[in-house]
Chain A
Amino acid sequence: MADVKFTEDHEWIRIEGDVGTVGITDFAQEQLGDIVFIEFPESGAALSKGDQAGVVESVKAASEIYTPVTGEITEANETLVDAPDTVNTEAEGSGWFFKIKISDMSELEGLMDEAAYKEFIA
């Protein structure tokens, strides 16, 4: 089973080898409400941990998405362009936002595991 970590900004990252798949947590989608638009980072973009990596627009407001790790964006989830509400129904599955090639695996150590995140949002 792949390792999943969480940030205090309510992103999750699933790690497979040196590639991380990033999305927002179910808690985050619940807070944001109906999601109607997602702005993705450009493929090939080099981002540092904590950089803005896109925007998620709900009916209510726009919220920034940050990358949990430093790396290069390899893929955006284009299926969300026509079905942004997938993030509401499958936030931690098929509602992922982008994949990133992780530069420094040690950055993952600063992130929360699932138990710690659950406690964080409790």
Chain B
Amino acid sequence: MARESASEGAIQRTPLHALHVELGGKLIAFAGYEMPVQYPLGILKEHLHTRGAAGLFDVSHMGQLELVGDDPVSAIETMVPGDIHGLDDGTTRYTQLTVDDGGILDDLMVTRDGGRLLLVVNAACKDEDIAHIRAGLPAGHQLHELADRALIALQGPSAAAVLSDLGSSCLAAMPFMSTTEDSLGGTECRIWRSGYTGEDGYEISCNAADAEALARLILSQKPVAPIGLGARDSLRLEAGLCLYGHDIDRSTTPVEAGLLWSIGKRRREEGGFPGAAVVKRQIADGVTRRRVGIQPNGRLPVRESAGLFDENGAAIGAITSGGFGPSVGGPVAMGYVEAHAAKAGTVVQAEVRGKMHEANVARMPFVEQRYYRG
């Protein structure tokens, strides 16, 4: 899961670096940042703790951007297929930065906050995204990187109780993909009901200078344990969520990736985003390959790059993410297969170390999503 640094030069640290060290985090280089892959609890128990109680994640390496100007909504719609005009104030949508051939430059969250948009982009793509968006902005718009902000995620069934204890009681009632501002233990925060685990939970942005005190306060609540990037990856994999650079990239389109749900009806009809012609054609004519869940039979984990074959041994695709799913209690994976083999239940063969292992095309998510819809 380690990815090469997006930016040249020295490895960077988040505002919570000292806390990670103090908590015994095992630090690795990830997307140009020194990040905890796990704490002493270990990936497996951290994963299960998040699904059973609540986990706190440092995601400050991700890019927090602000788009302001005359009409930021129209400006961003020329770069993403998501329906941003249709986004109510104080709500968030998942979308992608696309290019003319339909490929994906990055996936991101877009929030409408009054007259401005807030964007959260992947750490490894941050610098490229900023350059790309700025290059495409009409006059009268500015994109700012909110580099002095930290971002933490609190995820799991106990997250709502924990956060509404520390802040306003209304935090428990806000629906999935909405945002608000609140004070948590005296720290002013921007809070979203969102996450990357399939669980209910929040993502919380605050000033970098306040981040450690806030993280300590949240960690002092009984249900909460610190969770590293290792469990973040297995949690999102079980939840069927894409990891940029693995499950989606420049060579995959939103339609092939099964992300058509994130492209609103108006955008499908009107287009007006890079790759709209390709997306429209793929909706009409179908795609030649699709992202699907892959559930290996047996216990052997099938990992990224493993080849997938049909029962006659013909190559039909490859795994893009795979490993052990602690909540599933066995191996889980996702990958691309030819469209004729994309139906759930299709038996496929996955090649691991030169041997074929039977697997099934499976519905995702592998675990029930538990988002709070209000």
Contact = CB atoms under 8 A, between A and B. Distances in A.
Interface string B287-316: 000000000000111010000000000000
B310 to A, nearest CB: 24
B300 A39 contact: yes
Contacts of B230: 33, 59-60
Contacts of B43: 33-34, 59-60
A59 B324 contact: yes
Chain A interface residue number, banded: 10 to 19
A34 B301 CA distance: 13
A59 B323 contact: yes
Interface of B: 37-38, 42-45, 230, 234, 299-301, 303, 323-324, 326, 331, 353
A57 interface: yes
Contacts of A37: 299-301, 324, 331
Contacts of A36: 44, 299, 301, 324, 331
Contact of A57 (B38, B44, B300): B300
B359 to A, nearest CB: 14
A33 B301 contact: no
A55 B353 contact: yes
B299 A59 contact: no
Contacts of B323: 59-60
A59 to B, nearest CB: 4
Given A36-B301, A59-B230, 9 more contacts: A33-B38, A37-B324, A37-B331, A57-B300, A57-B301, A59-B43, A59-B324, A60-B230, A62-B301
9 contacts: A33-B44, A36-B299, A36-B331, A57-B301, A59-B324, A60-B37, A60-B230, A60-B323, A62-B303
A64 to B, nearest CB: 9
A71 to B, nearest CB: 22
Given A57-B324, A59-B230, A59-B234, A34 B303 contact: no
A34 to B, nearest CB: 4
